[in-house]
């Protein structure tokens, strides 16, 4: 039995891939260990979305590589987006890396490990495999309650800043029968919340089934469980999806709809493929159609040429739309993308200041938005107790945490909770409907 250790960075699709990699190794007589020190094989599944993420990972790889001093037979492997983007460059930066397998070739990890065993030195595997088969679906751990299913890999958009179409290639949707089966299996194994994943789930299309139809089919899997999806693209988020969400209680009232900027000029420069008016229309329609909808978004500050006034348009948009929460990032040039040809002309301190400004707005808005929940009764999924005070943590369909008093209650059950107060991002409540 060989021991392997696995770390994952980046998005949830990477987490899904990592779990699949784990299963692939377990199916081939490897056992997973929790510490890299005791492993024969150490794998890191990586993210390229921002330079900062890559730098941190390179440092981490150097640290992991030093473990070879005690365990010279240990093999160090890099998978995923960085492997895909950097290829042989990774070994130059971290010479102790033995194996490089890109996000579009993950099943090649196993043959590469076998080649290493034979004493060969496999080159970086970054060519997409002819017949791409993702690693086997993850083994679900029932105590997680939450299952993830990647329904579509890759991305056909060409946002000027984004490395993903390079690292993950063009869109490939998985067969709907496979997906329904996978969802069914997860529910049977105890999943109570399932998230369908993709860079752009709305453009899912396979065997004549589009995304709304896929939602309908997955939603028919019996049992008490809830269904989410992420990420949606504003251009492709359809009224039909909204109608399904409104009609099916199974579908959680939450949409993550990255806008990236509130400036029409910047949106165009980002090649986002929608106008601000279109985005606002989509939000208006979604809010009208879906009761109690929670909305979240992603924002980038300091895109090349972003003026103070353009940044203020982003702040104004956030104020206007009152997102439940948002994730804001400093623009990071990624070589090979269209934006990398533009001068990265917003100084780092200014990006930082804009980010800080947004975070202040976010804290205030989150507080205000959450105050509106006080007194309301919402259905929550009991997730378990927090380790410090024994509070019971639960989650609403809107993806908000509700903290409940310590009590005996089985994780995985759905209950009604009445919200008593809101602090920042967190809601506090008690079980039962409001009096
Ligand atoms: N720089 C900064 N943020 C980025 N994102 C994607 N590419 C970049 C980049 N080059 C952000 C976007 C996206 C989120 C996952 O990461 O906001 O929605
Ligand atoms: Fe990172 Fe994007 Fe790759 Fe996910 S798809 S791991 S966010 S670069």
Contact 269, 245 (CB under 8 A): no
Ligand 2 centre from 96 Cα, in Å? 24
Cα(264) to centroid(ligand 1), Å = 18
Between the CA of 49 and the centroid of ligand 1 the distance, in Å, is: 6
Position in ligand 1 atom list of the atom nearest CA 332: 1
Q: What's the gap in Å between 410 CA and the centre of ligand 2?
A: 35
User: Does the pLDDT at position 131 exceed 70?
Assistant: no
What confidence tens digit (pLDDT) does each residue in 84-125 have? 999 999 999 999 999 999 999 999 999 999 999 999 999 999
**Close Cβ partners of 255 (under 8 Å, ≥ 6 residues apart):** 232, 237, 245, 286, 290, 293, 294, 295, 296
Minimum-distance ligand 2 atom for the alpha carbon of 163: 8
Please give the share of the chain, as a percent, with pLDDT higher than 90: 91
As a whole number, the mean pLDDT across the chain is: 95
- The protein residue whose alpha carbon is closest to atom 4 in ligand 2 is 11
The ligand that comes nearest to the alpha carbon of residue 330 is 1
What is the number of the ligand 1 atom nearest to the C-alpha of 11? 15
Q: Residues lining ligand 2, judged by CB closer than 6 Å? A: 10-11, 13-14, 47-49, 80-81, 163-164, 167-168
Q: What is the pTM of this model?
A: 0.95
* pLDDT over 80 (residue 334): yes
């Amino acid at each position: 039995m060989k021991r392997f250790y696995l770390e994952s960075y980046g998005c949830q699709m990477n987490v899904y891939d990592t779990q699949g990699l784990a299963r692939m190794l377990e199916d081939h007589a490897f056992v997973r260990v929790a510490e890299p020190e005791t492993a024969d094989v150490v794998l890191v599944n990586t993210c390229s979305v921002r330079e900062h993420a890559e730098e941190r990972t390179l440092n981490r790889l150097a640290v992991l590589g030093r473990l070879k001093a005690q365990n010279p037979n240990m093999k160090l492997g890099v998978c995923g987006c960085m492997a895909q983007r950097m290829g042989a460059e990774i070994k130059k930066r971290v010479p102790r890396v033995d194996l490089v397998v890109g996000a579009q070739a993950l099943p090649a990890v196993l043959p590469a490990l076998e080649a290493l065993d034979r004493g060969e030195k496999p080159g970086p595997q970054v060519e997409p495999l002819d017949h791409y088969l993702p690693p086997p679906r993850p083994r679900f751990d029932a105590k997680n309650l939450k299952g993830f299913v990647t329904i579509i890999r890759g991305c056909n958009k060409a946002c000027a800043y984004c490395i993903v179409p390079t690292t993950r290639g063009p869109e490939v949707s998985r067969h709907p029968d496979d997906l329904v089966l996978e969802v069914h299996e997860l529910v049977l194994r105890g999943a109570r919340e399932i998230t369908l994943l993709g860079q752009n789930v709305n453009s899912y299309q396979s065997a004549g089934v589009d995304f709304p139809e896929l939602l309908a089919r997955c939603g028919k899997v019996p049992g008490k469980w809830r269904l989410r999806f992420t990420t949606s693209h504003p251009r492709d988020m359809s009224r039909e999806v909204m109608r399904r969400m409104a009609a099916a209680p199974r579908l959680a009232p939450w949409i993550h709809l990255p806008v990236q900027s509130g400036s029409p000029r910047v949106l165009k420069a980002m090649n986002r493929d929608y106008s601000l008016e279109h985005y606002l229309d989509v939000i208006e329609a979604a809010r009208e159609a879906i009761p109690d909808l929670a909305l979240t978004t992603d924002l980038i500050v300091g895109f090349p040429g972003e003026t103070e006034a353009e940044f203020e348009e982003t702040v104004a948009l956030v104020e206007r739309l009152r997102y439940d929460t948002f994730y804001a990032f400093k623009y990071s040039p990624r070589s090979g993308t269209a934006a990398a040809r533009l001068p990265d002309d917003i100084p780092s301190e200014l990006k930082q200041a804009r980010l800080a400004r947004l975070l202040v707005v976010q804290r205030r808005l989150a507080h205000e938005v959450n105050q509106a929940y006080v007194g309301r009764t919402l259905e929550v999924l009991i997730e378990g107790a927090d380790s410090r005070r024994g509070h019971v943590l639960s989650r609403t369909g809107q993806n908000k945490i509700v903290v409940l008093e310590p009590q005996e209650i089985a994780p995985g059950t759905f209950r009604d909770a009445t919200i008593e107060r809101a602090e920042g991002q967190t809601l506090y409540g008690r079980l039962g409907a409001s009096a």
